[in-house]
């Protein structure tokens, strides 16, 4: 099993099930409110994911009780607007690094995922919620607004109108409504174990997964011609890779779904 992180920490480490799978754990009981030190640690974790070729998938977890109930408001009170702006950009950059990481990221959400905690979950490629999951961006109820990617990523997940509903009302969404809206991809009694199983399928998959993820994400911001050019370049690389050649040959030898990847 992975080590239990100390309170107020962010821990990125390999999971024993696969050297290609990492777990990004948050720990600051009782609700994992993100203190300033955790903001810096999340930035370091995001940088590490971009620099580390070992990992192909990541599970993001806050443990069994709460994913993360947003930023620690007490630490924000004494900041000047300029200080707050500089600090906020650290968290915004951290979540952007996680969202654009080459690994496939799966968030396991128990309990609260609010504010910055929900924005971290939105940076993942997939979200598995527990029956007790509560999600939302309540920043407007504090007189501010989401500032670490929520206004940009939420519309891509649930559409413009639903995103405006959640952002402008600041309301909380419980598990079943979150599933209906597409905020989570499924509900599971143990979201960590379900997220782990899903992430393992990606960790054991071909390196082409990261190229497919990059093409999908980049295409959101590119003219169709540029997106198609990026796609063409990516599939040529995949075709030339050992994983690609093994996958094609395995299909002819053994049928679909039998290839063992890990050559690249």
Q: Please give the model's pTM, rounded to 2 decimal places.
A: 0.93
Residue 139: active-site member: yes
DSSP state of 5: P
- pLDDT for the residue 248: 86
- pLDDT for the residue 8: 82
- pLDDT for the residue 256: 82
- pLDDT for the residue 1: 45
Torsion of CA 94, 221, 152, 109, to 10 degrees: -60
Residue 19: active-site member: no
The one catalytic residue in 139, 193, 225, 231 is 139
Residues comprising the chain, all counted: 264
Q: How many CB atoms lie within 10 A of CB 10?
A: 21
Task: Render pLDDT for 9-42 as a digit per residue (tens, 0 to 9).
Answer: 999 999 999 999 999 999 999 999 999 999 999 9
CB-based burial, 224-240: b 16+ in 10 Å, e otherwise: eeebeebbeebeeebee
| Residue segments in the chain with a per-residue pLDDT below the cut of 70 | 1-7, 263-264
DSSP state of 190: S
The one catalytic residue in 6, 119, 193, 225 is 119
The strands making up 112-114's β-sheet, listed across from edge to edge, are 112-114, 134-136, 173-174
């Amino acid at each position: 099993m992975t080590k239990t992180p100390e309170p107020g920490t962010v821990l990125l480490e390999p999971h024993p099930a696969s050297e290609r799978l990492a777990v990004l754990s948050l720990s600051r009981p009782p609700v994992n409110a993100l203190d300033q030190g955790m903001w810096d640690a999340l930035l370091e974790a995001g940088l590490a994911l971009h620099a580390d070729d070992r990992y192909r998938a990541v599970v993001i977890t806050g443990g069994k009780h709460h994913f993360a109930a947003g930023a620690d408001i007490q630490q924000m009170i004494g900041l000047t607007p300029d200080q707050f702006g500089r600090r906020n950009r650290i968290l915004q950059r951290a979540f952007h690094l996680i969202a654009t990481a080459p690994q496939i990221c799966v968030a396991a959400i128990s309990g609260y995922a609010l504010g910055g905690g929900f924005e971290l979950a939105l940076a993942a490629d997939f979200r598995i919620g527990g029956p007790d999951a509560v999600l939302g961006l309540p920043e407007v109820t504090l007189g501010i607004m989401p500032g670490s990617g929520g206004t940009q990523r939420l519309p891509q997940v649930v559409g413009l109108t639903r995103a405006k509903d959640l952002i402008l009302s600041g309301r909380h969404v419980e598990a079943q409504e979150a599933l209906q809206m597409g905020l989570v991809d499924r509900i599971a009694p143990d979201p960590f174990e379900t997220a782990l199983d899903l992430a393992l399928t990606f960790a054991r998959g071909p390196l082409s997964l990261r190229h497919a993820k990059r093409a999908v994400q980049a295409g959101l911001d590119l003219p169709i011609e540029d997106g198609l050019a990026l796609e063409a370049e990516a599939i040529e690389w995949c075709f030339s890779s050992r994983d690609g050649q093994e996958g094609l040959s395995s299909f002819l030898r053994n049928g679909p779904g039998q290839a063992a990847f890990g050559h690249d």
